Every structure is written in structure tokens, then in C-alpha cells.
Amino acid sequence: MSSIQKAADTRGLAGQTIGDTKVCSVNQTQLIYRGYEIADLAANATFEEVSFLLLEGHKPSTDELARFEAELRDMREPHPEVIKVIHGLARSAPNAHPMNVLRTGISLASHHDPDCEDNSAEAELRKSKRLLASIPAMIGAHQRGLEGKDPVSADPSMSHAANLLWCLSGETPGEIATKVMDVSLILYAEHDFNASTFTGRVIASTNSDLHSAVCGAVGALKGNLHGGANEAAMDMLRDIMDDTTQDSDLTVGAWMTRAFEEKRKLMGFGHRVYKNGDHRAGILRDWGLRYANEENASAKKWFDLGDEVQQIMFEQKNIHPNVDFPCGMTYYSMGIPVPQYTPIFVASRITGWCAHIMEQHANNRIIRPLAEYTGPELSNWND
């Protein structure tokens, strides 16, 4: 290698293709779920249709969709013990992170799932649907417990997105709130071998069960380099707003320069695959801004600030926002509590995870890569 050539940094498996999938394609120019492009899905499909596409492998017919939606509506209430424990944790452990509580809820649900230990394709599809249908009620039970309120029963008359908002707030959501939530769930549903999906596939590859693989995936999603960035992005925007309001000499640019000097990562920016922008970010920003314009004018300031941060980040670092950046502003405008942003991500990505776990089990070989040893040289114990 010449001295001016730099070895590729392959830490974190950067740039490595480690398997194939029929579920999703992620590249610089397109994001495709089973043959359908993300902008097409966000504009023309519902989250239920996208969930069917991911889990069943093809676009649903009218009859298939009706059957699928009815099944999900029937399975929205988790086992009562799950709700009792999750709701109780809000009081006994109020500082527990909602992602950890949701992971506990999913783990607990496994004990009451009659198919838990059955890894057949049919059983895994049933388990996937039960989790997809019931996760909104788990998220809602925890949030309402934190607010000192009783959980509400899941509403079988609502769409999946509307029921999620209902379970969280106990209020019937309006049309635009439901639409924005639905689009965000579509955008978050799947993203090939991202860290949480890969985690799920590794667990599944040992012949472990679907719930165990999903619990591992929840743990991986929680971190702020991955799904946890939607909460961290909003926390950062609030810090910038507070700091620049309290100190009128401090500009947004100066705040960011300080962050760059301190080598801090700005949350909601950058991506391992997308170096020219995340296909999902602009779609969600436009829907979030539309929500603010129509329903919550005071929230528009977050989009103005977000645009300024985005502009400076591009000019100074040539780094684009990922989907978590507009997600923070969008959910904040909608009045959703910040610590529930990543659990909502789970309510969507459960579809992608389950599709991958089923794909792994359908053609399994244990995932067991090699490591390059860099430890001490061999010594004799008695020397």
C-alpha cells in the first residue's frame, strides 16, 4: 500500500456485505421494501399494508388486507399480566427507561404466547402479528402509569397508528395526527442489516425463539447511535434553544462550533450507508411541518431551528440529517413525551425485525464470524 493510500476503516463491519435478504434494499439512491420504493409507500400505502408486505412477503389483495387488519384489531390487548407489570413499573421504578420497560413487556408476553418455543414459519407469523398488534398498548400502559393514570383499552375501531396515539394519550387523535404517525411508522418499518435487525438475526441464528430475538433487537435499538437518536436529537434541539435563548450573544452556529471542537456527535445526523442524505428524512420533515402548520403553530420554531442546524451541519461538515432528526421535531410537535420516541420506533420496526427473523430461520446457519487476535504473545503459566 502506498503511503498516501489509507486502509479502509472496517471497524463496526463498515462496508462489509455479510449476507443477503429479500426483505429490503438500502443504498445511496433508493430504499426499497420488497420491491416498493419508500417514497411510493409513504405516499400511497398504509402502515397495515406495509406490515403485511414485510411479514407476508407480497402486497396484500383487498381480501388479504381486510383479514390481516381484522386479525391485528383482535390481538391488540396484551395478556393482562403484561399490562399490570408494565403499568406497575411506572410507579415502582419511575426512572426505568421506557425501552427497558417495553423489552420487559415483550419478554413477559413470550411466557403467555402459546407458540413461544415453536420456530415454524406459521407460528412465527402468528407471534409477529401478536407483537405488532399489542406493542402500542404496552407503550401506552407505561406512559399512562408515569402520568398517574389508568391504562386505556386498545380501540379495535381505529387504525394501527390512531390506536397507538390513543393508547398513549387516552384521546381520539385527529386525522392529520393519525396520518403523520402512520407515515412515520412506514418510514421506520425496515432498513436491512441495521444494528438491531442484525442483532435479532444473530440471536435467531442460534435457533433461539422470536421473542428472544426481538428482546435483543430492542436492546440494540435503544442506543443513541441507532434508534435512541430520535430522543437525543430532540434533547439536543431543546439544549440549543435554551442555551441560545438564555445567552443572546450565543448563536446557533457558535453552539455548533463548540460542539464540533468538543468532538461531540450531533444526534440525528450522519449515517453508515447514506452519505448524501437519508431518503426518509425529507418525507418526515415535510409531514411534521405540515402538522405544525395545521395543528400547532407554536411548534414551527422547532422546524426553523432544525433547518438552521441542518444548513450549518451541511456547510461545515457535509453531513446530512437522518430520519431521527425530523422525527424528534415531529413527535414533539404532536405532544408525544420524548422518552416514548424510541418505543414508537419499536412499534414500527417490529415488522422488519420479524420479517428478518423468519427469513433467517427459513435458511439458517449460525452467525459466527472470526476475530483477529491482537492480545499478548503466548507465555507459560509457570514462568
Q: Which of 273, 201, 270 shows the shortest CA–CA distance to 13?
A: 273
Residue closest to ligand ACO when measured from CB atoms: 270
CA geometry: angle 332, 135, 157, nearest 5 deg:
85
State the helix-helix crossing angle for 341-362 and 229-246, rounded to 10 degrees: 160
Q: Does 84 bind ligand ACO (CB under 6 A)?
A: no
Question: Do the bridges between strand 31-33 and strand 24-26 make them parallel or antiparallel, or are there none, so unpaired?
Answer: antiparallel
27 touches 274 (CB < 8 A) = no
323 touches 212 (CB < 8 A) = no
The interface region with ligand ACO, picked from 83-91, 201-209, 224-232, 297-305 by CB under 6 A, is: 224-232
From 182, 209, 278, 324, the catalytic residue: 324
Q: Which of 187, 123, 164, 198 shows the shortest CA–CA distance to 334?
A: 164
Sole binder of ligand ACO in the list 65, 305, 319, 338 (CB under 6 A): 319
Name the minimum Å distance from CB 272 to ligand ACO: 4
| Residue 118 among the catalytic residues | no
| Residue 271 among the catalytic residues | yes
Q: Does 12 bind ligand ACO (CB under 6 A)?
A: yes
| CB neighbour burial string for 349-383, b if at least 16 within 10 angstroms, e if fewer | bbbbbbbbbbbbbeeeeeeeeeeeeeeeeeeeeee
Name the minimum Å distance from CB 208 to ligand ACO: 24
**Distance, CA of 196 to CA of 11 (rounded, Å):** 17
**Distance, CA of 253 to CA of 241 (rounded, Å):** 12
Name the minimum Å distance from CB 319 to ligand ACO: 5
Q: Does 322 bind ligand ACO (CB under 6 A)?
A: yes
Q: Does 182 bind ligand ACO (CB under 6 A)?
A: no
**Distance, CA of 327 to CA of 184 (rounded, Å):** 8
| Residue 361 among the catalytic residues | no
Q: Does 83 bind ligand ACO (CB under 6 A)?
A: no
The interface region with ligand ACO, picked from 161-169, 225-233, 242-250, 287-295 by CB under 6 A, is: 225-233
**Distance, CA of 281 to CA of 322 (rounded, Å):** 6
Q: Does 352 bind ligand ACO (CB under 6 A)?
A: no
| Residue nearer to ligand ACO on the CB measure, 166 or 269 | 269
Sole binder of ligand ACO in the list 65, 176, 225, 367 (CB under 6 A): 225
Binding track over 236-275 against ligand ACO, x by CB under 6 A? -----------------------------xxxxxxxx---
The interface region with ligand ACO, picked from 52-60, 154-162, 243-251, 317-325 by CB under 6 A, is: 317-325
Q: Which residue has the cell 397495515?
A: 48
Q: For residue 245, count CB atoms less than 10 angstroms from its CB and return exposed for 0-12, middle for 13-18, buried for 19 or more.
A: exposed
Q: Does 323 bind ligand ACO (CB under 6 A)?
A: yes
Name the minimum Å distance from CB 152 to ligand ACO: 29
For the annotated catalytic residues, the residue numbers are 226, 271, 324
Residues that bind ligand ACO (CB under 6 A): 12, 225-227, 229, 265-272, 317, 319, 322-324
